[in-house]
Amino acid sequence: MDTLGERIRELRLARKMTLSILAKRVDVAVPSIAAYENGSRTPSVDVLVRIARVFNVTLDNLMGLSTADYIDVSELTDTQRATVQNVIMGFSKLNDILIETKKVHTKEDLEDYMTSNPEGFWKILPNGDRLFIGIK
């Protein structure tokens, strides 16, 4: 399991963010971010919340307690939120089907499979106010 500092660094680098940019967005000094990342200091709860907001992750995710991703839908209408939920559920079902039918062997293989077969086995189909994932 990654330490908190490793997780902060991982999230920062994944977003191609410098120490300076993260420090500015979190409203702390650059040496503080460096100290959090190298484990010599632990951020306060207030700073942890600000870091999680910058990276758009939950505190559980930031702390390494969960690998679940967070999607901010606070600016969406109820209908748009339902649509996003349907798309997520559809992709989750599709992933399960691909693994069950042995088209892929692990969830890690899914990304490679989906990019190499963009039209072959899945398609987003509009159907009224909902989106469904269809398999050809």
**How many whole angstroms separate alpha carbon 111 and alpha carbon 4?**
26
The whole-number average pLDDT for the span 54-66 is: 87
What CATH number has the domain spanning 4-62? 1.10.260.40
Instruction: Look at 88 and 98; give whichever has higher pLDDT.
Output: 88
Contact assessment for residue 54 and residue 26, using Cβ atoms and an 8 Å cutoff: yes
Phi, psi (deg, nearest 5) at residue 131: -115, 130
Q: Model confidence over 5-21: pLDDT tens digits?
A: 999 999 999 999 999 99
Write down the domain spans for the chain.
Answer: 4-62, 78-134
Q: Model confidence over 91-135: pLDDT tens digits?
A: 777 777 777 777 666 666 666 666 665 544 444 444 443 334 444
Count of C-beta atoms within a 10 Å radius of residue 76: 13
pLDDT at position 127: 43
